[in-house]
Amino acid sequence: MPGSTQGSDLTDELLLPTVSPRRMAFNRFVGHRAAVASVFVLGTMVLFVALSPLTARYGVNEAVQAPPNYFLSPRANAWLGTDDIGRDLYSRLIYGVRVSLIIGFFSAIISVVIGCVVGAVAGFRGGRFDDITMRVTDLFLAFPFLVTLLVMRNMLGAIDWLRPVMGDISSVRFIILLFAIFGWMGVARIVRGQVLALKEREFIEAARAVGATRWYIVRRHLLPNSVGPIMVALTFSVVSAIIGEATLAFFGYGPQAGAGATSLGILVGQAKGAVNTGFWWLALFPCLVLVTIALSINFIGDALRDATDPRMQKDA
């Protein structure tokens, strides 16, 4: 990518890319190919989850066969093996991915909505509101996330008057809201940065000069210009919520989604116990699914950033 193209010799500059265009195209192709594959993988997973009555072979707590049925290695009636009480890992993965995806998407959407509002207001209004929100986000972002998450989880779960909103501490709703409470900060920073950058641009000044209202400017200029970064932020908050849930569940602080219901985190957490006994399938498959989901969403987010970053459009 050529660096600066200010000045008159724009075309001369464009003739001198430091990265050869062909290689760049190759690079982009690989990046996008990964993103396309990721969409396909993720789509397949969503389909499997949505059609769980058809795709899952057993109920969430159903044993695959009469005892002895525990710790069976992968076989015909349990494709990915069974756990300590004879439940089918393949079916439980489908149920677990369902809970994880719900947590990821809902908490990401809530974070993005809160983040957009707070970021836009902070950016437009500036002043004390801006100062305080940015200080708070700085503080939270600098602190070890896992520690904050655990401490805040316990605190929010112990406040009685929050329970009607947050739900019980071990519910899926609680986890979704918990991640939303942290997730908006990153989004707010991005949106605020966009607003500050846009405020300086001529077309906003022009719109203001002809008497456009603030809401009109937000709707017609700010939102269309921020869709790219917001989409990218959305994908990354989905990943961080899914991984975050798995982390909490791994240490036993995750959701207990009703009797026997499961999540990806719970399944990965079980792997901890399976390691030293050599029940490799219990460790390998949940980890593989988790990493696949995280990797796919990261690839999609990266491709979205490439596609929407105006700095990258020059060589399109």
Partner 1 sequence: MLRFIVRRLAWSIPTLFFVTFLVYIALRIGTDPVESYKRINPRVTPAKIQQYIEVNGLDPNYVRGYFQWLVNFVTLDWPRSIKGSREVWPQLKDALANTLRLGAAASTVGISVGLLLGIFAALRPGGRRDVTVNTAAFVGISIPPYVSAILLQLLFAVYWSRWFGSTLFPTSGVYPPGHTGFNLVLMLKHMVLPTSVVAIQIIAVYARYMRSSLLDVLSSEYMRTARSKGISERRVLFKHGLRNALIPVVTIAALDVGAIVGGLIITENIFSYPGMGKYFLSAFGEGDFPLLMPWMVLIVASVLVFNLLADVSYAWLDPRIRLD
Partner 2 sequence: MSESILQIRDLTVTFATPLGPLVAVRGVDLDVGAGELVAVVGESGSGKSVSFLAAMGLLPSTATVQGSVMLDGVQLVGASAKQMRSVRGRLLSMIFQDPLSALNPVHRIGAQISEMLRAHQKMSERAARARAVELLEVVGIPQPGDRAMQYPHEFSGGMRQRVVIAMAIANSPKVLIADEPTTALDVTVQAQILEVIQKVQKQFGTAVVLITHDLGVVARVCDRVNVMYAGRFVERAAVSDLFDAPTHPYTRGLLASLPQAGKERLVPIVGFPPNMLRPPSGCAFRARCADAISDCEHAVPELRAVGAAQSACIRAAELMQPR
Which residues make up the interface to partner 2 (CB under 8 A)? 3-4, 6-12, 14-18, 20-22, 25
DSSP 221-287: IIHHHHHHHHHHHHHHHHHHHHHHHHHHHHTT-S---STT---HHHHHHHHHHHTTTT-HHHHHHHH
**CA distances, 189 to each of 42, 69, 123, 193, 196 (Å):** 28, 51, 9, 6, 11
Torsion over CA of 104, 105, 109 and 110, rounded to 10 degrees?
-50
Task: Name which of 6 and 276 has its Cβ closer to partner 2.
Answer: 6
Considering the complex, what minimum distance in angstroms separates the CB of residue 215 from partner 1?
34
Considering the complex, what minimum distance in angstroms separates the CB of residue 305 from partner 2?
21
176 contacts 103 by C-beta, under 8 angstroms: yes
| Segment contacting partner 1 by CB under 8 A, of 69-77, 90-98, 106-114, 139-147 | 139-147
Residue 12: name its binding partner from partner 1, partner 2, none (Cβ under 5 to 8 Å by kind): partner 2
Q: Is 27 a residue that touches partner 1 (CB under 8 A)? A: yes
For residues 262-291, which are near partner 1 according to CB under 8 A? 268, 271-272, 275-278, 280, 283-284, 287, 290-291
Residue 150: name its binding partner from partner 2, partner 1, none (Cβ under 5 to 8 Å by kind): partner 1
Give every CB contact of residue 23 below 8 A, 6+ residues apart in sequence.
none
Task: Name which of 17 and 228 has its Cβ closer to partner 2.
Answer: 17
- Report how far residue 104's alpha carbon sits from residue 36's, in angstroms, rounded to the nearest whole number: 20
Considering the complex, what minimum distance in angstroms separates the CB of residue 256 from partner 1?
16
Considering the complex, what minimum distance in angstroms separates the CB of residue 5 from partner 2?
11
Q: Which of 272, 255, 253, 257 is nearest to 150 (CA)?
A: 253
Residue 67: name its binding partner from partner 2, partner 1, none (Cβ under 5 to 8 Å by kind): none
Q: Is 154 a residue that touches partner 1 (CB under 8 A)? A: yes
- Report how far residue 9's alpha carbon sits from residue 19's, in angstroms, rounded to the nearest whole number: 19
Site string for partner 1, 196-235 (x = CB under 8 A): ----------------------------------------
Considering the complex, what minimum distance in angstroms separates the CB of residue 144 from partner 1?
4
Task: Name which of 51 and 155 has its Cβ closer to partner 1.
Answer: 155
Task: Name which of 28 and 163 has its Cβ closer to partner 2.
Answer: 28
Q: CA neighbours within 13 Å on the CB side: how many for 12?
A: 4
Task: Name which of 10 and 158 has its Cβ closer to partner 2.
Answer: 10
- The dihedral built from the CA positions of residue 57, 58, 64 and 65, taken in this order, carries a sign that is negative
Considering the complex, what minimum distance in angstroms separates the CB of residue 269 from partner 1?
9
- Please report which helix (H) or strand (E) contains residue 157, including its range: helix 145-158
Residue with token string 């525990």: 70
Residue 10: name its binding partner from partner 1, partner 2, none (Cβ under 5 to 8 Å by kind): partner 2
Residue 313: name its binding partner from partner 1, partner 2, none (Cβ under 5 to 8 Å by kind): none
Residue 15: name its binding partner from partner 1, partner 2, none (Cβ under 5 to 8 Å by kind): partner 2
Q: Is 70 a residue that touches partner 1 (CB under 8 A)? A: no
Task: Name which of 20 and 276 has its Cβ closer to partner 2.
Answer: 20
Residue with token string 């009685």: 160
153 contacts 248 by C-beta, under 8 angstroms: yes
